[in-house]
Amino acid sequence: MTETERNPESTLATTGALPDPIPTTPPRNKWRDVWDQFKTHRGALVGGIVFCSLVLLVLVGPYFWPFDPTYIDIRARNQGPSLAHPFGTDQLGRDTLARMMAGGRVSVAVGITAMLLALGLGSFIGVMAGYFRKLDGPLMRLTDLFLALPLLPLLLVMMLLFRDPLNSRFGPETGIFILIVVSIGMTSWMPTARIVRGDVLAIKEREFILAARSIGTSSTMMIMRHILPNVLSPIMVSATLGIANAIITESALSFLGLGFPPDFPTWGRLLFDATDYLQQYPERVIWPGMAISLTVLSVNYLGDGLRDALDPRIRGR
Amino acid sequence: MLTFTIRRLILAVPTLLFISLIIFLLLELAPGDPMAQVPLTVPPDVKEKMRLALGLGEPFHIRFWKWIVQFFWIEPQVFIDHLIGTSLSDGKLRVISWQTRSPVMDIVVQRMPQTLWVVGMSYVVGVLIALPIGIYSAYRQYSVFDQAGTFITMVGYSIPPFFTGPLIIVIFSVQLGWFPSIYDTTHQVVDWATFKVQLQQMIMPVMVLALQTTAQIGRFMRASMLDNLNQDYVRTARAKGLSEAVVVMVHVLRNSMIPVVTVIALGVPAIFGGAIITEQVFKVNGIGQLLITAIYANDLPMVQTITFMFAVLIVFFNLIADVLYGILDPRIRYD
């Protein structure tokens, strides 16, 4: 039999078909492409650097700075900027730079934790609503309902109601931290859920999902292996926006006097305390305000760049 | 369209009821006791009577039902009485504030003009600034103006009002002394001089709130214009020989305004929420400041009513946005 004697190469030679081009370079990594696109967005690059250095500063700074944020030196009160106190001191003689760094720790920690909570909740509800058709209606009605809640007033009410029980159980600082993080997380998951649901609905109709289902992939595996990695980019973009949102909300609560207790510095609290001395020492308002604005601005630019970098339609150009 | 509107209106009723239930349940868990300020010399049975007088004696669901009836049935009657002088609501119990022992709605009506003046004016100003910026930066995409506009909107988006507020107080009140830092609500406008004073005290809160509005709507306007500028009908309009002004300001602008108008409608309730902070900064005694003081004073009927009014605003403006979208864009069909 002639056909069994033929090897593939001779077949190729006789039919004259072109062999597939063999790639000489290894395939480009997707994250490499994302990084290349991200680099071209100058605002995002600067935003990322500023945000990372701010986080690094508030994390590492207190180890190198000699003053304790709660140390009261009443003789050195209300000082202007000097070499010993670059940001001056407050009405009790506490060093403003040390308080700024301690406050930044809390603000950034609240921002990141609340964002993670909102993101987890939003992605979970979004994936569930998008993947299981039966859950879609009820979960989306729930999302609409949460979107119709007046959030800032409700947050204020929650602060008022649950502050004391949580304080007595977990101590004043941990209690209010849990309260703020949970209430911000519970009230800001809705945009993420909506975006994720839309993307899941689109991905569910693609061929690779059909292929995966045809080999008997279970729903859990399908979501973990095939759906979640593909909705990662909108989740990452809403993560950056979530940090900005959480930091602003926490500062707003502290500014209205319903956030952290007075001796526990956060950026919003420092701003609130400084407004009382607005006429005499206006620079005290500037430092925490600048810190909040700079963080939020850099995170927003970072999100802008990430959105462009993660969008394959823009990346190709 | 009409059936859609009616269906949405009917759907809004359970939504609002559910929201009011959530708010009520949340307040039900309040550990604060309205009798906490009463002196210890008052005997317990008298205290119990006072508690009953506040309407606290009954179980939860009855009080919720009473509040619903008061808010949705008796308060509109009071409003009708006030308008045409009938006496529908005589002798009926209204929602009473625990702080002042007067009807909550009367206080809200007293506070409303301040909030509406400051918030409403700032929204109008913000939209009026945002639209030209958005149009021009889309028309000259990537120009210096566009880059600067994008940066400014990004800054406006990122800087919270509780920082811009004190900042411009420092600059314009403390350093320059141009404007008063506190909004005087007893001020009456009678002639040109008092009008100028009113204008001066309004400029700063309006500007702070307008910056937020401008940032959001300006960005949206730009994106919407960019979507439309590359479409085929624009090329056709240019090929017909229409002037550039007509192409941009009539053809493109009208189509770009469709999503922007709905965003403007959606933003109205959010600006009321933002006004809570601005009113606190500039000491405007509007609705937001009323809510904050009620929260501090544990005045639950007041908190419940104001929070619910914010929810009504949100649901109502969502409805308006959806209906507007359907009216303005004939491609959208809800039925």
The answer to whether residue B10 sits within a structural domain is: yes
The answer to whether residue A117 scores a pLDDT higher than 90 is yes
Chain centroid to Cα B281, Å, comes to 17
Chain centroid to Cα A12, Å, comes to 55
- For chain B, what is the domain count? 1
Q: Which amino acid is present at A203?
A: I
Taking the CA of residue B173 and the nearest CA in chain A, the distance in Å comes to: 9
List pLDDT tens digits, range A172-230: 778 888 888 888 888 888 888 888 888 888 888 888 888 998 998 888 888 888 888 88
Rounded to 5 degrees, what angle do the CA atoms A143, A145, A151 make? Answer: 95
Report H helices in chain A: 2-5, 8-15, 30-40, 42-64, 96-131, 133-147, 151-170, 172-186, 190-204, 207-214, 219-221, 232-255, 267-275, 283-310, 312-315
**Cα–Cα dist A225/B83, whole Å:** 64
The answer to whether residue A317 scores a pLDDT higher than 50 is no
Mutate to test the interface with A, among B29, B158, B307 (most CBs of A within 10 A): B158
Domain of A304, CATH number, reads 1.10.3720.10
The answer to whether residue A285 sits within a structural domain is: yes
Confidence of residue B37 (pLDDT cuts 50, 70, 90): low
Interface A:B, Cβ pairs < 8 A: 122
The answer to whether residue A1 scores a pLDDT higher than 50 is no
Structural domain boundaries enclosing B130: 2-328
Q: Are B141 and B226 within 8 A, CB to CB?
A: yes
The answer to whether residue B228 scores a pLDDT higher than 80 is yes
Domain of B168, CATH number, reads 1.10.3720.10
The answer to whether residue B335 sits within a structural domain is: no
List pLDDT tens digits, range A48-71: 888 888 888 888 877 777 777 777
Q: Are A199 and A230 within 8 A, CB to CB?
A: yes
Structural domain boundaries enclosing A244: 33-59+97-314
Residue B96: phi and psi, rounded to 5, are -105, 135
The answer to whether residue B86 sits within a structural domain is: yes
* Chain B CA closest to residue A146: B19
CB contact residues (below 8 A), chain A span 278-317, against chain B: 278-279, 282, 285-286, 289, 292-293, 296-297, 300-301, 304
Burial class (CB in 10 A: 0-12, 13-18, 19+), B106: middle
Average pLDDT estimate for B310-329: 84
Instruction: Give me the pLDDT at residue A121, please.
Output: 92
Confidence of residue A93 (pLDDT cuts 50, 70, 90): low
Confidence of residue A7 (pLDDT cuts 50, 70, 90): low
Q: What DSSP character marks residue B170?
A: I
Span between the terminal Cα atoms of chain A, in Å: 53
- For chain A, what is the domain count? 1
Instruction: Give me the pLDDT at residue B84, please.
Output: 77
Question: What's the ipTM?
Answer: 0.76
**Cα–Cα dist A198/A303, whole Å:** 19
pTM for the model stands at 0.79
Least confident of A9-23, A109-123, A227-241, B39-53: A9-23
The answer to whether residue A27 sits within a structural domain is: no
Q: Which amino acid is present at A288?
A: P
Average confidence score pLDDT of chain B: 81
Confidence of residue B207 (pLDDT cuts 50, 70, 90): confident
B318 shares contact with chain A (CB less than 8 Å): yes
The answer to whether residue B205 sits within a structural domain is: yes
CB contact residues (below 8 A), chain B span 28-87, against chain A: 29-32
Higher-confidence residue of A116 and A91: namely A116
Out of B22, B30, B306, the one facing A161 most closely (by C-beta) is B30
Within 8 A of B162 by CB-CB distance, chain A residues are 251-252, 255, 268, 271-272
The answer to whether residue B334 sits within a structural domain is: no
Per-residue exposure over B68-86, b if at least 16 CB sit within 10 Å of its own CB, e if not: eebbeebbebbeeeeeeee
Mutate to test the interface with B, among A161, A167, A187, A253 (most CBs of B within 10 A): A161
Within 8 A of B146 by CB-CB distance, chain A residues are none
**Cα–Cα dist A223/A217, whole Å:** 10
Least confident of A193-202, B65-74, B81-90, B167-176: B81-90
The answer to whether residue B333 sits within a structural domain is: no
**Cα–Cα dist B283/B293, whole Å:** 12
Out of A150, A289, A297, the one facing B273 most closely (by C-beta) is A150
Average confidence score pLDDT of chain A: 80
List pLDDT tens digits, range B135-181: 888 888 778 888 888 888 888 878 888 888 888 888 887 778 787 77
Higher-confidence residue of A282 and B242: namely B242
